[in-house]
Amino acid sequence: MYRDTGAGKDPVPPAQMAMALLLQGYLGLSDGDALEATLLDLRWQLVLDCLGATDPPFSQGTLQGFRERLIAHDMDRRVLERTVELAKRTRELIGRSYRKHWGWPSTRLRSRGPVESRTPSTCWRMRGSKLVESAAALLHWSPERVCQEAGAPLLLAPSIKAALDRDWSDPAQKASAAKRLVIELENLKDWIAAKLPEELKKPPLLEDVATLNQIMDQDLEPDPGGGGMKIRKGVAEDRRVSVEDPEMRHGRKSKTKRFNGFKRHIATDLDSGLILSGAITAANQPEESAARDLAEDIVRQGFSVGDLHLDRGYIKSPLVDEILGRGGEIVCRPWVAHNGKAFSKAAFKLNMRDLTITCPAGESERIRSSVVEFDPDACDPCPLRAKCTTAEMGSGRTVNI
């Protein structure tokens, strides 16, 4: 992990930070709270061999860098694997049985990074100003000089709306203002490419330009009336929602509940409670996208996925069909059926092996398609009709399969 460490940093024992990460995970603390614990909690000091310390044994940035280095070298997976190896030796997880029961829940993780709720033009100006600052630092110039030389004076204004001086309720003036800002930002990028061609190939300019291009591309579309680009109507697919966190996305728990951040996926051995695999995906990715990686981690440790208890989101994964095909069982909470005050689908008996459906009054029909309609001659005189359907007389109750 330490072939390339960089220069100018005080060395910190990796084993000490590894122990700190285990303690942090066990107690569910943030990086800041973990550092505070190294000073205020004697138990932490005992484990980390820093009794009596008056300063934290490492900085928050060092801990974050160590975590990133672990992930980059696949050592986060190794932590889980070593945990399983220890469990086997202590007989918490016995043998390598063919059929194991696994549970796969997913959890919504809300990011602490800021979500951009500003207008597109304000976001562009903020990222353009960041690009100006990076270029000014490399050239040892003032930001004012960079903006003037690059032909982007709008980026010097404290308020982009005030500097453009437009009636923002007028669609035509709003579009004209956005186009002017886009022109100045393109001027800035072209000027930097000509002035600092080598620096543009590496951070910070490489990252600053890439971020600016991304947020402009997702907010702009060609103007069909001519004259370049205009602000996009609607939301771009896979839209970046945070300037600071490039991987954070909008996600939905339901049609009405939205969150910003990521999804955490966990594979657990239901017999012992041990976590054997985990994954993180963007909030806008379906649960099924993580299923294959979770299964591969389990197989890599010498196990087979037999029966699977999972959230509904994983049902569409091809892995589910594979498990069913080899005789495994899938256990999943069904979707809740709603039908107002009338009998819901749950009141009917569905026999998917015989392909029959029986209503609360005892009438049965064959399932021949995705929608079953009961015989109107049986539904019209039925004493339970008022509780079952609001269809007109002569029409039977229908049920979607």
**Domain ranges for the chain:** 14-73, 120-231, 249-332, 345-400
Q: Alpha carbon of 214 to those of 105, 120, 153, 242: distances in Å? A: 33, 12, 22, 11
* Amino acid identity at 127: R
Highest mean pLDDT of the ranges 48-52, 119-123, 300-304: 48-52
Q: Alpha carbon of 103 to those of 275, 312, 313: distances in Å? A: 9, 12, 13
pLDDT of residue 156: 87
Residue 99: pLDDT band (50, 70, 90) is very low
CB atoms within 10 A of CB 78: 11
Q: Which of 59 and 7 is assigned the larger pLDDT?
A: 59
User: Which residues are within 8 A (CB) of 16 and not within 5 positions of it... i.e. 6 or more apart?
Assistant: 48, 49, 50, 57, 58
118 pLDDT more than 70? no
pLDDT of residue 109: 62
Highest mean pLDDT of the ranges 39-53, 119-133, 332-346: 39-53
Biggest CA–CA distance in the chain, Å, is 90
